Amino acid sequence: MASTSSESGPPGDRGDEGGALVQGATVRHDKHGQGVVAKVLDGGRKAIVRFDSRPAVPMVVADAALQRIGALPAPAPRPVARPVVSADAAPDRQTLEALRLGVVPARGLDRLTVGRHEELARVDELVDRASGMLVLSGGYGTGKTHMIELAASAGRQRGMLVARATFDPVEVPPSHPLRLYGALCRDLSGEDSAATGLRPLLEALEPTPERLTGPLSHRWLSPALFAVHHAPEPLAQDVLDFVSGQNHADHRELSRLLRRQGFRGPDMLGLPDYRTFGQIMAHLLGGVAAWARDAGRGGLLVLLDEAEYIDRLGAVSRDMAENVLRFLAMAALPADQLGFQPDGVYRGGQGAHRRIPVRYREDQPLAVLCAFTPNPQVDGVLDRTLADARARVALDPVRPSLLPVLAEKVYGLVKAVHPHLDPAPEHRQAVTSALDRAFRGGRVETTRQAARLVVEFWDLYRQDPSRALRALQGAGG
């Protein structure tokens, strides 16, 4: 293949000559068809390719498996300069609707955050490092879920896969590690695809011998990788569901069927719903994180919300929940940042399970962010788990002095959606004055409540300014 720079002859004549992979080149794969190189990896030995057959799921492919069939596209005409439109001016009705309902919006949070500079810096540090464990501790209304959403957005913007789970005493109890793992797999997603789960990641990876049976193999992910690429679809989905923690199928039968299809790696081990399987959960998450990086991602960001359920568990389940947090810490932190001896943490299962290492790779890019409501029991768990005090961030309640800032941010959002809104300056000031009175009188306690009050005021103001001002006086006390 010749270089993809300009040469004589039609592009198709250069398909089997030499030449380095370059971003933007058109290539062909025997199985996946034609595509475009989105990014070159590993010094040109691999590339992330967006194939025409599945453009939403970029795949990592070895250079040797690609044929060059086209030169770099001609440079696009230089666009005519247009005025830059601020992100704050972009209409976002979805964000407004979330504020009306009193819930944390999934979009636009960065435009509504006040007084969290230090906390946001810590979250950014965790995401930039793509490893480690950070705990947010705060009472109701201090913004734990808000910070979780901001972290998810930051992770996706940096190319990480993000998986979030909210603890629930029945569906996702913190004492059951494989239920937690299953919930995280259901939510697993990246910024460039609407699809969730393990399938997009596995489809983006080549089933190479190194990854199926060699030094990069994984006891559960390798069979799933083989199944996604080589097994009939019903079997592939069954294996994927099992490895994702979505069912408790017979792993022996699934392994037997995979061998009939040509898989030569070790058989999968069972994944029963045991509370003592924290090391298996950690090994699985570490594998997802490492394979995400192999696929050109930034790693895996795990987000755990509503972790205050730990204090509602019985004594035995609470001990198991502490083990789950310890295994997460062991998978995400270096040993010198642990508040316990790793060898002393109980591992369950048969001998084959207990021999599975907690960390799939020593350098795996796994970052964990947890949100807790503080109480003595939870504080004790954290003291015994994390040796570094910087791994814990206290979220204090909003300061009254920040309410005018919040009110103006919400007004800016409303103005972007309803550009004809043009209130008198004293009416905007009336909103912040009413918020201050309501906050000091205990009628507004959280930024979420404050934002909802402001949105409701401007909704009414657009219809009847006089009525809105009268209602605001009643709301403010």
Q: What is the pLDDT of residues 172-190, one digit of tens each?
A: 888 899 999 999 999 999 8
Q: Distance between CA atoms of 282 and 325, rounded to whole angstroms?
A: 10
Least confident of 132-141, 268-277, 287-296: 132-141
Do 29 and 12 contact (CB within 8 A), yes or no? no
Q: For 85-96, how does the pLDDT look when each residue is reduced to its tens digit (9 = 90+)?
A: 334 434 467 777
Residues 384 and 425 in one domain: no
Q: What is the pLDDT of residue 357?
A: 95
**If you average pLDDT over residues 406-416, what whole number do you get?**
84
DSSP state of 374: -
**If you average pLDDT over residues 275-301, what whole number do you get?**
96
Q: For 139-154, how does the pLDDT look when each residue is reduced to its tens digit (9 = 90+)?
A: 776 778 888 888 998 9
Q: Distance between CA atoms of 434 and 224, rounded to whole angstroms?
A: 58
Q: For 462-475, how does the pLDDT look when each residue is reduced to its tens digit (9 = 90+)?
A: 889 889 888 877 66
Query: Higher confidence at residue 110 or residue 185?
Result: 185
| Residue 78 belongs to some domain of the structure | no
Residues 310 and 381 in one domain: yes
Task: Tell me which residue range forms the domain holding 408.
Answer: 400-476
Query: Higher confidence at residue 373 or residue 158?
Result: 158
How many domains does the chain fold into? Answer: 3
| Residue 111 belongs to some domain of the structure | no
Least confident of 89-103, 174-188, 215-229, 262-276: 89-103
Q: Is pLDDT of 158 > 70?
A: yes
| Residue 165 belongs to some domain of the structure | yes
Q: Distance between CA atoms of 422 and 59, rounded to whole angstroms?
A: 50
> Exposed, middle or buried: residue 166 (CB in 10 Å: 0-12, 13-18, 19+)?
middle
Q: What is the pTM of this model?
A: 0.73
| Residue 224 belongs to some domain of the structure | no
Least confident of 111-125, 182-196, 208-222, 336-350: 111-125
Residues 190 and 62 in one domain: no
Q: Distance between CA atoms of 283 and 366, rounded to whole angstroms?
A: 11
Q: What is the mean pLDDT of the chain?
A: 82
Residues 322 and 376 in one domain: yes
Query: Higher confidence at residue 462 or residue 302?
Result: 302
Residue 398 — left, alpha, or beta (φ > 0 → left; ψ -120 to 50 → alpha)?
A: beta
Domain stop point among 363, 394, 425: 394
Residues 18 and 158 in one domain: no
| Residue 103 belongs to some domain of the structure | no
Residue positions counted in the chain: 477
| Residue 221 belongs to some domain of the structure | no
Residues 455 and 309 in one domain: no
Task: Specify the DSSP element, H or E, that contains 370.
Answer: strand 366-372
Domain stop point among 361, 394, 427: 394
Residues 64 and 160 in one domain: no
Residues 6+ apart with CB under 8 A from 216: 208, 210, 294
CA distances to 153, 179, 404, 407, 436 from 399, rounded to whole Å, are 25, 38, 10, 13, 10
Residues 274 and 163 in one domain: yes
pLDDT bracket for residue 15 (50, 70, 90): very low
**If you average pLDDT over residues 342-359, what whole number do you get?**
92
CA distances to 67, 140, 155, 410, 454 from 100, rounded to whole Å, are 54, 19, 27, 11, 9
Q: Is pLDDT of 461 > 60?
A: yes
Do 29 and 36 contact (CB within 8 A), yes or no? no
Give the torsion sign (CA, 124, 127, 129, 132). positive
Crossing angle of helices 221-230 and 233-243, rounded to 10°? 160
The token pair that represents 159 in the structure block: 């190319």
Neighbouring-strand partners of residue 394: 137
Looking at residue 19, which CATH number applies to its domain? 2.30.30.140
Query: Higher confidence at residue 111 or residue 270?
Result: 270
Q: What is the pLDDT of residue 1?
A: 36
**If you average pLDDT over residues 411-420, what whole number do you get?**
86
The secondary structure of 384-427 as a DSSP string is HHB--GGGEEE-PPPPGGGHHHHHHHHHHHHHHHSTT----HHH
| Residue 121 belongs to some domain of the structure | yes
Residues 283 and 136 in one domain: yes
Q: What is the pLDDT of residue 327?
A: 96
Q: For 322-333, how does the pLDDT look when each residue is reduced to its tens digit (9 = 90+)?
A: 899 999 999 999
Which one, of 303, 414, 276, lies nearest residue 368 by Cα? 303
pLDDT bracket for residue 74 (50, 70, 90): very low
Residues 192 and 147 in one domain: yes
Residues 390 and 406 in one domain: no
**If you average pLDDT over residues 38-67, what whole number do you get?**
70
Domain stop point among 336, 362, 394: 394
Residues 196 and 317 in one domain: yes
Report phi then psi at 229, rounded to 5. Answer: -95, -25
Looking at residue 150, which CATH number applies to its domain? 3.40.50
| Residue 176 belongs to some domain of the structure | yes
